[in-house]
Amino acid sequence: MRLAGQLLLVSAVTLLLPWAGCQYAREVESALRAAEADSVAASARLLAAALAPAVAPDAAGLQAVAGRSGDLDLYAHPLGAAPTLDGFVEDWGLAARHLERTGGLEFLVGRRGVATYVFVAVAGGQPPSALRLTGRDTPLVFPLDAPGPVLGRDGPALDARSRGYWQATSTGWQIEARVPSSLLEGRLGLQVRDPDGTLRGTTWMERPGRLAAPDAGAQAALDRLAPPGFRAYLIDTAGFLLARSEPATSAAAEAPDGWLDPVFRFALGRRTEADPAPAARPGQLSGRHVELAALGTATTRRYADGATNLLAAAAPVGDGIPPAAIVVMERDTAEILALTRAPTRRLLGLSLLASTGAALALLGFAGWLSWRITRLRDAAGSAVGQRGEVLGSLPGAAAGDELGDLARQLAGLLGRVREHNLYLQELGGRLAHELRTPLAVVRSSLDNLEAEASSPGPWLGRAREGVDRMSHLVNALAAARQMERAIGAAELEDFDLGAQLDDMTDAYRALHPEHGFALARPAGPCRIHGAPELIAQALDKLVDNAVDFAPAGTEIRLELARRRDDWRLAVANAGSRLPSGAPARLFDSLVSLRGETGKPHLGLGLYIVRLVAERHGGRAGAANLGEDAGVEFYLDLPDASAQRAGYSESSRQYPERPS
CB 460 within 8 A of CB 490: no
Indicate the range of 180-189, 335-344, 462-471 predicted with least confidence: 335-344
The model's pLDDT over 417-426, given as tens digits with 9 standing for 90+, comes to 877 777 677 7
| Number of other CB atoms surrounding residue 503 within 10 Å | 9
Q: How far apart are CA 525 and CA 498, in angstroms?
A: 6
pLDDT at 502 over 60: yes
The pLDDT tens digits for 132-172 are 999 988 899 999 989 999 999 988 889 899 999 999 999 99
Measured between alpha carbons, how far is 506 from 617 in angstroms, rounded to an integer? 28
Beta 74-75 vs 209-212: how paired, if at all?
Answer: parallel
Q: How many CB atoms lie within 10 A of CB 2?
A: 10
Q: Find all residues with CB under 8 Å of 300, minimum gap 6, and list them.
A: 37, 40, 41, 44, 289, 311, 312, 313
- The residue among 348 and 332 whose pLDDT is bigger is 332
CA distance 574 to 630: 4
Distance CA 140, CA 151 (A): 10
Residues near 381 by beta carbon (within 8 Å), at least 6 away in sequence: none
Q: Are 15 and 355 in contact (CB under 8 A)?
A: yes
**Rounded to whole angstroms, how far apart are CA atoms 579 and 435?**
33
| Exposed / middle / buried, residue 140 (Cβ in 10 Å: 0-12, 13-18, 19+) | buried
Q: CATH topology of 15-59+215-343 equal to that of 490-644?
A: no
Helices then strands, each counted (H, E), the chain: 15, 26
Closest C-alpha among 213, 323, 223, 288 to residue 232: 223
Cα→Cα distances 149→140, 145, 167, 181, 553, Å? 15, 10, 9, 20, 143
Rounded Cα–Cα distance for residues 304 and 283 (Å) = 20
Q: How confident is the model at residue 467 (pLDDT cuts 50, 70, 90)?
A: confident
Beta bridge partners of 621: 634
Q: Is the pLDDT of residue 176 over 80?
A: yes
Give me the CATH topology for the region 490-644: Heat Shock Protein 90 (3.30.565)
* Distance, CA of 383 to CA of 364 (rounded, Å): 28
Task: Report strand pairing: 299-305 vs 130-134.
Answer: unpaired
Whether the pLDDT of residue 10 is over 80: the answer is no
Distance CA 462, CA 459 (A): 5
Among 1.20.120, 3.30.450, 2.50.20, 2.60.40, what is the CATH number of 15-59+215-343? 3.30.450
Q: How many CB atoms lie within 10 A of CB 174?
A: 21
What's residue 558's pLDDT? 95
**CA distance linking residue 164 with residue 154, whole number of Å:** 14
**Predicted local confidence at residue 73, as pLDDT:** 92
> Are the C-beta atoms of 506 and 533 separated by less than 8 Å?
no
What percent of the chain has pLDDT above 70? 78
Nearest by Cα to 62 from 215, 273, 178: 215
- What pLDDT, on a 0 to 100 scale, did the predictor assign at position 58? 43
> How far is it, in rounded angstroms, from Cα 657 to Cα 659?
6
Return the top range by mean pLDDT from 226-230, 320-324, 507-511. 507-511
DSSP string, 320-365: SSS-SEEEEEEEETHHHHHHHHHHHHHHHHHHHHHHHHHHHHHHHH
pLDDT of residue 252: 46
Pick from 108, 110, 106, 109: nearest CA to 122: 106
Strand, helix or coil for residue 262: helix
Instruction: Give all strands (DSSP E) within 491-595, no chain letters.
Output: 493-496, 516-520, 527-530, 555-563, 566-573
**pLDDT for res 366:** 78
H-helix or E-strand spanning residue 610: helix 605-615
Q: What is the mean pLDDT of the chain?
A: 81
615-650 in b/e form (b: 16+ CB < 10 A) is bbbbbbbbbebeeeebbbbbbbbbbbebbeeebeee
Indicate whether 255 pLDDT > 70.
no
Best mean pLDDT range from 311-315, 454-458, 578-582 = 311-315
Q: Give the Å distances, CA to CA, from 463 to 435, 438, 460.
A: 16, 14, 5
Selection from 625, 618, 611 nearest residue 659 by Cα: 625
* pLDDT-derived band at 658, boundaries 50, 70, 90: very low
Q: Is 66-206 in CATH node 2.60.40.1190? A: yes
> What residue type is assigned to position 154 of the chain?
D
More confident site: 345 or 399 = 399
Residue 657 has pLDDT above 50, yes or no: no
DSSP E strands in 156-249: the ranges are: 157-168, 172-180, 187-193, 199-202, 209-212, 231-235, 241-245
Give the pLDDT of residue 79.
95
Q: How distant is the alpha carbon of residue 585 from its chain centre?
A: 54
pLDDT of residue 320: 84
Instruction: Quick: pLDDT tens for 289-301.
Output: 999 999 999 999 9
Residue 116, strand partner residues: 111, 179
Domain ranges across the chain: 3-14+348-378, 15-59+215-343, 66-206, 490-644
How far, CA to CA in Å, does 230 sit from each of 50, 223, 278, 294, 446?
16, 12, 20, 21, 131
Contact 75, 283 (CB under 8 A): yes
Cis amide linkage into residue 322, ω under 30° from 0: yes
- Measure the CA–CA gap between 50 and 317, rounded to whole angstroms: 9
Q: What pLDDT does 66 receive?
A: 39
The Cα-based distances of 288 to 44, 278, 312, 328, 600 in angstroms read 15, 8, 10, 12, 116
41 compared with 584, residue with greater pLDDT? 41
Q: What is the DSSP letter of 25?
A: H
Which pLDDT band, with edges at 50, 70 and 90, does 204 fall under? very high
Can you tell me the mean pLDDT for 123-127?
90
φ/ψ (deg, to 5) at 37: -60, -45
Sign of CA dihedral 516, 522, 524, 529: negative
Cα–Cα distance, 499 to 501 (Å, whole number):
5
pLDDT, average across residues 19-36: 77
What confidence tens digit (pLDDT) does each residue in 539-553 have?
999 999 899 889 888
Binned at pLDDT 50, 70 and 90, residue 59 comes out as very low
Q: pLDDT tens digit string along 613-649?
A: 988 889 899 999 888 788 999 999 988 765 555 444 4
Q: Is residue 258 predicted with pLDDT exceeding 60?
A: no
Segment 30-53 shows an average pLDDT of 89
Contact 573, 550 (CB under 8 A): yes
Rounded to a whole number of angstroms, the CA Rg of the chain reads 58
